[in-house]
Amino acid sequence: MIVRPVAADQWPIVAWLWQDFRHDLAPVVMGFPYADGRYRHTQLDGYPGPGKVGYLATEPHPNTSEDAPVAFALVDGLDTDERELAAFFVVPASRRVGTGRDFAAEVLALHPGRWRIAFQHDNPSAGAFWRVVAADAFGEAWTEERVPVPDRPDVPDDHWIRTA
Protein backbone atom coordinates (compact mmCIF):
# COMPACT_ATOMS: atom_id res chain seq x y z
CA MET A 1 0.00 0.00 0.00
CA ILE A 2 1.24 3.46 -0.89
CA VAL A 3 0.01 6.45 1.14
CA ARG A 4 0.37 9.95 -0.24
CA PRO A 5 -1.23 13.34 0.30
CA VAL A 6 -4.07 13.85 -2.15
CA ALA A 7 -2.69 15.67 -5.20
CA ALA A 8 -4.68 18.48 -6.80
CA ASP A 9 -5.80 16.24 -9.66
CA GLN A 10 -6.86 13.41 -7.27
CA TRP A 11 -9.65 15.22 -5.42
CA PRO A 12 -12.24 13.95 -7.94
CA ILE A 13 -11.17 10.40 -6.97
CA VAL A 14 -11.75 11.24 -3.31
CA ALA A 15 -15.13 12.73 -4.25
CA TRP A 16 -16.16 9.40 -5.82
CA LEU A 17 -14.96 7.49 -2.76
CA TRP A 18 -16.76 10.03 -0.55
CA GLN A 19 -20.06 8.87 -2.00
CA ASP A 20 -19.20 5.28 -0.98
CA PHE A 21 -18.21 6.53 2.48
CA ARG A 22 -21.52 8.34 2.96
CA HIS A 23 -23.42 5.36 1.54
CA ASP A 24 -21.77 3.13 4.17
CA LEU A 25 -22.79 5.59 6.91
CA ALA A 26 -26.34 6.06 5.63
CA PRO A 27 -27.96 3.33 7.76
CA VAL A 28 -26.16 4.61 10.87
CA VAL A 29 -26.92 8.32 10.41
CA MET A 30 -30.24 7.96 8.55
CA GLY A 31 -28.63 9.58 5.53
CA PHE A 32 -30.45 10.01 2.27
CA PRO A 33 -28.98 11.25 -0.99
CA TYR A 34 -30.11 14.70 -2.08
CA ALA A 35 -32.13 15.46 -5.22
CA ASP A 36 -29.03 15.20 -7.44
CA GLY A 37 -28.43 11.63 -6.20
CA ARG A 38 -25.36 12.51 -4.18
CA TYR A 39 -24.89 12.31 -0.45
CA ARG A 40 -23.97 15.33 1.64
CA HIS A 41 -20.46 16.49 0.78
CA THR A 42 -20.09 19.88 2.45
CA GLN A 43 -17.37 18.55 4.76
CA LEU A 44 -15.35 17.32 1.79
CA ASP A 45 -15.81 20.65 0.01
CA GLY A 46 -13.52 22.27 2.63
CA TYR A 47 -10.52 20.21 1.46
CA PRO A 48 -7.80 21.02 0.91
CA GLY A 49 -7.75 24.11 3.07
CA PRO A 50 -5.92 25.84 5.90
CA GLY A 51 -4.97 23.24 8.50
CA LYS A 52 -6.55 20.46 6.41
CA VAL A 53 -5.02 17.68 4.35
CA GLY A 54 -6.25 14.53 2.68
CA TYR A 55 -4.47 11.21 2.16
CA LEU A 56 -5.12 8.58 -0.45
CA ALA A 57 -3.96 4.97 -0.16
CA THR A 58 -3.43 2.94 -3.32
CA GLU A 59 -2.66 -0.67 -4.12
CA PRO A 60 -2.24 -2.50 -7.40
CA HIS A 61 -5.62 -3.34 -8.89
CA PRO A 62 -6.01 -7.16 -8.97
CA ASN A 63 -7.09 -7.15 -12.64
CA THR A 64 -4.96 -4.40 -14.18
CA SER A 65 -2.03 -3.90 -11.77
CA GLU A 66 -2.61 -0.13 -12.06
CA ASP A 67 -2.55 1.86 -8.83
CA ALA A 68 -6.11 1.78 -7.52
CA PRO A 69 -7.48 3.83 -4.61
CA VAL A 70 -8.31 1.66 -1.61
CA ALA A 71 -8.75 4.26 1.15
CA PHE A 72 -8.83 7.94 1.99
CA ALA A 73 -8.50 9.98 5.14
CA LEU A 74 -9.20 13.63 5.85
CA VAL A 75 -7.24 15.32 8.62
CA ASP A 76 -8.19 18.65 10.18
CA GLY A 77 -6.60 20.75 12.90
CA LEU A 78 -3.05 20.81 11.58
CA ASP A 79 -2.94 24.49 12.54
CA THR A 80 -4.10 23.75 16.13
CA ASP A 81 -2.77 21.70 19.01
CA GLU A 82 -5.21 18.83 18.35
CA ARG A 83 -5.56 16.99 15.07
CA GLU A 84 -8.88 15.48 14.05
CA LEU A 85 -9.42 12.50 11.83
CA ALA A 86 -12.38 14.12 10.08
CA ALA A 87 -13.15 11.22 7.71
CA PHE A 88 -11.73 7.77 7.10
CA PHE A 89 -12.83 5.21 4.54
CA VAL A 90 -11.53 1.88 3.26
CA VAL A 91 -13.15 0.26 0.22
CA PRO A 92 -15.03 -2.92 1.19
CA ALA A 93 -12.77 -5.24 -0.85
CA SER A 94 -9.76 -4.07 1.22
CA ARG A 95 -11.36 -4.45 4.65
CA ARG A 96 -10.51 -7.09 7.23
CA VAL A 97 -7.05 -7.72 5.78
CA GLY A 98 -5.15 -5.03 7.72
CA THR A 99 -5.41 -2.24 5.15
CA GLY A 100 -7.42 0.01 7.46
CA ARG A 101 -5.18 -0.53 10.49
CA ASP A 102 -2.01 0.06 8.45
CA PHE A 103 -3.47 3.14 6.76
CA ALA A 104 -4.74 4.62 10.04
CA ALA A 105 -1.39 4.00 11.74
CA GLU A 106 0.47 5.72 8.92
CA VAL A 107 -1.82 8.76 8.85
CA LEU A 108 -1.68 9.17 12.64
CA ALA A 109 2.13 8.86 12.62
CA LEU A 110 2.44 11.57 9.95
CA HIS A 111 1.15 14.18 12.40
CA PRO A 112 2.55 13.74 15.91
CA GLY A 113 0.63 15.37 18.70
CA ARG A 114 -2.81 15.14 20.21
CA TRP A 115 -5.62 13.51 18.22
CA ARG A 116 -9.38 13.16 18.31
CA ILE A 117 -11.25 10.52 16.36
CA ALA A 118 -15.03 10.25 16.30
CA PHE A 119 -17.30 7.35 15.47
CA GLN A 120 -21.03 6.78 15.72
CA HIS A 121 -22.52 4.88 18.65
CA ASP A 122 -24.59 2.70 16.34
CA ASN A 123 -21.53 1.57 14.38
CA PRO A 124 -20.01 -1.15 16.59
CA SER A 125 -17.52 -2.24 13.91
CA ALA A 126 -16.06 1.26 13.78
CA GLY A 127 -15.86 1.36 17.57
CA ALA A 128 -13.97 -1.93 17.74
CA PHE A 129 -11.67 -0.84 14.91
CA TRP A 130 -10.80 2.56 16.41
CA ARG A 131 -10.19 1.16 19.88
CA VAL A 132 -7.62 -1.27 18.45
CA VAL A 133 -6.03 1.47 16.34
CA ALA A 134 -5.85 3.80 19.37
CA ALA A 135 -4.26 1.12 21.55
CA ASP A 136 -1.70 0.34 18.83
CA ALA A 137 -0.88 3.99 18.13
CA PHE A 138 -1.13 5.53 21.59
CA GLY A 139 -0.80 2.69 24.09
CA GLU A 140 -2.83 3.65 27.14
CA ALA A 141 -2.58 7.41 26.49
CA TRP A 142 -6.13 7.83 25.18
CA THR A 143 -9.66 8.09 26.48
CA GLU A 144 -13.10 7.56 25.02
CA GLU A 145 -16.03 9.81 25.76
CA ARG A 146 -19.58 10.15 24.53
CA VAL A 147 -20.46 13.54 23.08
CA PRO A 148 -23.94 14.69 21.98
CA VAL A 149 -24.28 15.27 18.25
CA PRO A 150 -24.80 19.02 17.70
CA ASP A 151 -28.36 19.90 16.67
CA ARG A 152 -29.39 16.21 16.68
CA PRO A 153 -30.97 15.32 20.04
CA ASP A 154 -32.78 12.48 18.27
CA VAL A 155 -29.63 10.43 17.63
CA PRO A 156 -27.26 8.62 20.00
CA ASP A 157 -24.14 10.42 21.16
CA ASP A 158 -20.97 10.14 19.10
CA HIS A 159 -17.97 8.48 20.67
CA TRP A 160 -14.70 10.43 20.68
CA ILE A 161 -11.28 8.94 21.18
CA ARG A 162 -8.89 11.58 22.46
CA THR A 163 -5.21 11.32 23.15
CA ALA A 164 -3.33 12.98 25.97
Domain boundaries, given as residue ranges, for the chain: 2-115
The torsion angles phi and psi of 117, rounded to 5 degrees, stand at: -135, 125
Q: How confident is the model at residue 29 (pLDDT cuts 50, 70, 90)?
A: low
pLDDT score, position 152: 80
Q: What is the DSSP letter of 38?
A: P
Q: How far apart are the first and last CA of the chain?
A: 29
Q: What are 92-145's pLDDT values in tens digits?
A: 988 889 999 999 999 999 999 999 999 988 788 899 999 999 999 999 999 999
pLDDT score, position 59: 95
Q: What are 49-83's pLDDT values in tens digits?
A: 999 999 999 999 989 999 999 999 999 999 999 99
Choosing among 3.30.420.480, 3.60.150.10, 1.20.210.10, 3.40.630.30, the CATH entry for 2-115 is 3.40.630.30
- What's the Cα-to-Cα distance from 95 to each of 80, 125, 129, rounded to whole Å? 31, 11, 11
Q: 122 with 28: CB under 8 angstroms?
A: yes
Q: Which residues of 140-157 are buried (b: 16+ CB within 10 A; e: fewer)?
A: eebeeeeeeeeeeeeeee
